[in-house]
């Protein structure tokens, strides 16, 4: 098990809502990350993010760990939700807000 995988596991465990993305929420570096951030921000809860462009080790190893080849990746309560298309679909259906609010309320409890 590599140190990078340990770091990834720790990030996922310590953050109930975590987005692995290119860039930052204020400056997304790709359209998919930008759309994902927008959808998550519209849910009105704080979330953590990791910029994979400034963390090349994570960028290299997360796809194998997650069994998901692309970025962004949204994790809620230790579970991989998916990438931009899934995030967008969940947001449009209202499910994303429910999932994020549930994760946030558990965090506050």
Quick: pLDDT tens for 40-80.
Answer: 999 999 999 999 999 999 999 999 999 999 999 999 999 99
Q: Which among 103, 70, 86 has a CA at the least distance from the CA of 36?
A: 86
Q: With the C-alpha atoms ordered 101, 102, 103, 104, is the resulting torsion angle positive or negative?
A: positive
The answer to whether the CB of 47 falls within 8 A of the CB of 37 is no
**Helix, strand, or coil here: 71?**
coil
Domains, the chain, ordered by start = 3-108 (3.40.30.10)
Tokens (6 digits) for 71: 């970025």
**Which residues does residue 75 pair with via DSSP β-bridges, in sequence order?**
18, 80
Average pLDDT, the chain: 96
Q: Which among 108, 99, 109 has a CA at the least distance from the CA of 17?
A: 99
Predicted local confidence at residue 1, as pLDDT: 66
The answer to whether the predicted template modeling score (pTM) of the entire model surpasses 0.85 is yes
Q: Which among 83, 60, 61 has a CA at the least distance from the CA of 70?
A: 83
């Amino acid at each position: 098990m590599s140190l990078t995988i340990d770091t990834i596991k720790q990030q996922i465990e310590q953050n109930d809502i975590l987005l692995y993305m290119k860039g930052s929420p204020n400056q997304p570096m790709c359209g998919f990350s930008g759309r994902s951030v927008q959808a998550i921000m519209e849910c009105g809860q704080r979330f953590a993010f990791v910029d994979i462009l400034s963390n090349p080790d994570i960028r290299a190893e997360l796809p194998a760990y997650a069994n998901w080849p692309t970025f962004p990746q949204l994790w809620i309560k230790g579970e991989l939700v998916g990438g931009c298309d899934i995030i967008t679909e969940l947001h449009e259906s209202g499910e994303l807000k429910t999932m994020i609010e549930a994760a946030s309320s558990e965090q506050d409890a």
